[in-house]
Structures are given as structure tokens and as C-alpha cells.
Amino acid sequence: MSIQNSPLAEQSLRFAIELVSYMRPVKGCGIIKDQILRAGTSIGANIREAQYGYSADDFVFKLQLAMKECAETGYWLDVIEGAGILPPDIVKDLRYKRNRIHRMLVSSLNTKKSNMGIN
């Protein structure tokens, strides 16, 4: 069940680091900044936790948590874009990377559930 050093784990870590570097200099917007950093960094944390799952069900549960955080990150990117907190090209790049991670999570979950006989 290990996904350590997988493209999903690596991309989620890079995404979190990039998100932190973009949000660090942002002044004000405290709650928005806190929320996107919490959600965006939690994606990779849950992916990493999945590798230490107690069972296949726990592995799936942790990846589902990562999916929820990925969806929330998308919401906060919409808010950041709408409020003009970050330049549009940066938001577009972050959204692209978030979407790529989301697709990888969907694929990983579908594969694991299929292997477990879950629809």
C-alpha cells in the first residue's frame, strides 16, 4: 500500500511548498491565507499518512481525506482569484497543479477500490 516516492506523493509535497512560498508574503487576508495553507498542505499530509494505514480501508480513508482537502483548496483558490489576492497567472498555475493531484487521487482511489472489490 506504500505510495512513498510516488508521483502523487512528490507532486503533493511540491504543491504544498509552492503554495507556502506564494502565500508567505501575502499581507492581510488572514483567514483566507490560513484556510488555503491548511487545506493545501493537508493534501500531501494525508497522502503520506495513507502509506502507514492499518489496512486497505484505512489507506482508502486517508486518500479520501486528501480528496476532500483538494476540493477545499480549489474553493480557496477561487476566493483568492476573485479577490485578486494573487496574480491570475499564479492562481492558474496552482489550480492546474491542484487539478492534476486531484486526478491522480481519483485514479489511485479507483484502482485501490477495484482491487478491493469496492465500486
Confidence grade of residue 1 (pLDDT, cut at 50, 70, 90): very low
Q: What is the DSSP letter of 83?
A: H
User: Is the pLDDT higher at 7 or at 112?
Assistant: 7
Among candidate residues 93, 62, 64, 94, the one with its CA nearest the CA of residue 76: 94
Q: Is residue 68 part of a domain?
A: yes
**CATH number, domain with residue 109:** 1.20.1440.60
Q: Is residue 32 part of a domain?
A: yes
What is the C-alpha radius of gyration for the chain, rounded to an integer number of angstroms? 15
Answer whether residue 34 shows pLDDT above 80: yes
Residue 67 contacts residue 50 (beta carbons within 8 Å): no
- pLDDT tens for 61-117 read 999 999 999 999 999 999 999 999 999 999 999 999 999 999 999 999 998 888 877
Residue 119: all three cell numbers together: 465500486
Helix 88-116 to helix 56-83 angle, to the nearest 10 degrees? 160
**Tally of structural domains, the chain:** 1
Q: Is residue 79 part of a domain?
A: yes
Report how far residue 43's alpha carbon sits from residue 98's, in angstroms, rounded to the nearest whole number: 10
- pLDDT tens for 56-75 read 899 999 999 999 999 999 99
What is the structure's pLDDT at 3?
56
User: Which domain covers residue 36, as residue numbers?
Assistant: 7-116
Q: Is residue 69 part of a domain?
A: yes
